[in-house]
Amino acid sequence: MTNEPTPDTARPVALIAEDDRDIRELVTAKLTAAGYRVLAYSNGQTALAATQEHQPDVALLDVMMPGISGIEIVTRLRKDPRTSGIPVILLTAKSQEFDIDSGYAVGAADYIVKPFSPRDLVIRVNAVLGRSPA
């Protein structure tokens, strides 16, 4: 048995769209430490294009971003056969029942309210992908 590093192509890809740099960097660090290859973007338009290009294993999207919101991205992903199966976790400060219901209604796999526990975030990403804890 060797201790060779896992090639990047074997690591699941997590795409993050979050306009708050501190949150984006925290999520990137936690998911990278958990074995994910992370593609991080600060706006919805770039993230949407990257999702179509890279076909990530999971997408974590801020609901409230300038330009295209996370809700709009999920709606567009679900309409495109190439991206309709990508599980999406919405990250947001919007915690009202209506907001949560709206997220699930457009096709989100999970909905995480800010502030959140970074440990819980990794657990929930793993759960959405059916992965065991690292």
Q: Is residue 101 part of a domain?
A: yes
The whole-number pLDDT of residue 67 equals 85
Model pLDDT for residues 46-96, shown as the tens digit of each residue:
999 999 999 999 999 999 998 899 999 999 999 999 999 999 999 999 888
- Which helix H or strand E contains 104, and what residues bound it? helix 97-105
CA distances, 30 to each of 1, 46, 82, 83, 99 (Å): 27, 22, 28, 25, 26
Domain count, the chain: 1
Q: Is residue 5 part of a domain?
A: no
Residue 84, domain extent: 11-129
pTM: 0.89
Q: Is residue 2 part of a domain?
A: no
Domain with residue 82: its CATH number is 3.40.50.2300
